[in-house]
Structure 1
Amino acid sequence: MALSLVVPIFGPPAAGKTTLTLRLGQAPGRQIFRLREHVSKEVLAATATSSERLGWIDEFTVAEALRSYFEAAHENPDVHTVLLDNFPGSASQVDQLLTTLWTLTPPCYIEPIEVVTDIKTLKQRAKTRKVCHRCERDPISDPRLPAIPSSQDPWQCAHCGGLLHPRRGDSPRLLKARLQRYHQTAAGIRAGFTDSGIAVTQLDTTNTIDGAADLLAPLLISRSRSL
């Protein structure tokens, strides 16, 4: 087994990108890449709350994170697929990703997925989703992974029993800024792939994210086996 498939998953906030990658990443041989897990605490802290710098990470840091991650994944015989959660976030990050992947031998198949849904669904999901500070030890105390509430109490974590909290980035001010940033960068992300001859597949998660995962799963299996 060798790394043969890389799946960049991007889209607007609250469209279900993380839930989708968590669901698909459970299969053997798959790993999930999240950029925030491969940069310093200081870099994250500088981008967490400012609407002007929200999520912005300098190109050198991104390039180093990608290089070190994919070199390790490429050498890991147990990994054949990497799912990129909410990456790339800009046209320049598409270029950095492709430059990194094109240095690998043998080459990987790249299958970009743009997650889409309507604005009403986005706002509703952002309003209701919660995170668990106890289960996700985020370096700047800003957890991102969606927590599952217990059936008895919507504010209690089903996994650890701890208190759930709204996600910081889902506050109305920051959600608006994140949506604006996505709409400003989405066309450039698509073009970054298509101009390199890589088709982007759109995946609608409006009805259910699990249903979208079920639609995508066979494609990933066929792609990973074709190389």
Structure 2
Amino acid sequence: MALRLIVPIFGPPAAGKTTLTLHLGSEPGRRIFRLREHVPTEALAATAISPERLGWIDEFTVGRAVRSYVTATQGDSMVHTILMDNFPGSRGQVDQLLAIMLAAAPGCRIEPIEAITDAKTLKQRARTRKVCHRCERDPIHDPRLPALAQEDDPWACVRCGGLLHPRRGDSPRLFKARLQRYHETAAGIRDGFTSAGVPVTQLDTTNTIEGAANLLAPLLISRSSTL
């Protein structure tokens, strides 16, 4: 088995990108790439300084992390698909990704997915999302992965029983800044792919994210098995 498919999944905050990758990435032969898991802690800490820098990592660090991950995964005979959670985040990162793939995985197909939903749903999800500091040992104590609550206690983690917390980036001020940044960069991300001859598929996650994942699953199977 060789690396056949890379699926960048981008979209506005609370559109369900991480939930999509968790659902789809559980299948054999698939791996999930999250940029924050592959950069130095000091670079990650710099992203928490202000709303304007929230989640922003310099292009050199991004390129090095993506190149290292793709190269290592290309050499793993057990992996055929990489799902990229919330990446790329800019037109420059699109260009980096395409250049890295051309050099490190020239036979690999790319299938970018843009998760979309309406503003009301985004805000509602941001208000209700919770994270678990005990289950997700984030290096800067800012966990991102959505946590499920127990049926009889909405603030108790279903996995460990620990106390759940609202996600820091979902506070009204930070969420507004993140949403604005997405609107400023989305057109460039789309154009980066389409100008390189790579079409972007838009996936509506408004009703249920799980349902959207089920719609996307056959596409990924066909793309990864026909190369």
> Fold conserved (TM > 0.5)?
yes
Residues 144-176 of structure 1 deviation map (CA, whole Å, 9 limit, x = unaligned): 000010111010000000000000000000000
Instruction: Tell me which moved more, 199-208 or 106-115.
Output: 106-115
Q: Does 1:188 align with 2:188?
A: yes
Q: Which one-letter code corresponds to 2:28 in the other structure? A: P
Q: Report the count of equivalent residues.
A: 227
Counterparts of 2:73 and 2:166 in 1: how far apart (Å)? Answer: 33
1:69-80 aligned at under 5 Å gives the runs: 69-80=69-80
Residues 169-188 of structure 1 deviation map (CA, whole Å, 9 limit, x = unaligned): 00000000000000000000
Counterparts of 2:115 and 2:106 in 1: how far apart (Å)? Answer: 28
TM-score by length of 2: 0.99
Stretches of structure 2 that go unaligned for 5 or more consecutive residues are: none
Residues 80 and 123 of structure 1: is their aligned pair in 2 closer, same or farther, counting only changes over 3 Å?
Answer: same
* Shift >6 Å, 4+ stretches: none
Instruction: Tell me which moved more, 29-38 or 101-110.
Output: 101-110
Q: Which one-letter code corresponds to 1:39 in the other structure? A: V
1:69-148 aligned at under 5 Å gives the runs: 69-148=69-148
Equivalent in the alignment of 2:16: 16
Instruction: Tell me which moved more, 161-170 or 97-106.
Output: 97-106
Contact 2:70 2:105 in 1 (8 A): no
Question: SS state of the match for residue 9, structure 2?
Answer: strand
**How far has the Cα of 1:106 moved from its partner?**
4.8
Counterparts of 2:5 and 2:210 in 1: how far apart (Å)? Answer: 21
Q: Does 1:149 align with 2:146?
A: no
Counterparts of 1:180 and 1:106 in 2: how far apart (Å)? Answer: 34
Equivalent in the alignment of 2:216: 216
Question: SS state of the match for residue 154, structure 2?
Answer: coil
**How far has the Cα of 1:221 moved from its partner?**
0.2
Counterparts of 1:68 and 1:184 in 2: how far apart (Å)? Answer: 28
Contact 2:3 2:105 in 1 (8 A): no
Equivalent in the alignment of 1:34: 34
Stretches of structure 1 that go unaligned for 5 or more consecutive residues are: none
Equivalent in the alignment of 1:176: 176
CA RMSD of aligned residues (A): 0.7
Q: Which one-letter code corresponds to 1:197 in the other structure? A: G
Question: SS state of the match for residue 52, structure 2?
Answer: coil
Contact 2:193 2:200 in 1 (8 A): yes
Residues 65-112 of structure 1 deviation map (CA, whole Å, 9 limit, x = unaligned): 011101100000000000000000000000000000011355111000
Counterparts of 1:207 and 1:53 in 2: how far apart (Å)? Answer: 31
Q: Does 1:5 align with 2:10?
A: no
Counterparts of 1:207 and 1:162 in 2: how far apart (Å)? Answer: 29
Counterparts of 2:48 and 2:122 in 1: how far apart (Å)? Answer: 20
TM-score by length of 1: 0.99
Residues 10-44 of structure 1 deviation map (CA, whole Å, 9 limit, x = unaligned): 00000000000000000000000000000111111
Q: Which one-letter code corresponds to 2:102 in the other structure? A: W
**How far has the Cα of 1:48 moved from its partner?**
1.7
Equivalent in the alignment of 1:65: 65
Equivalent in the alignment of 2:200: 200
The alignment-based identity, stated in percent, is 74
Q: Which one-letter code corresponds to 1:52 in the other structure? A: E
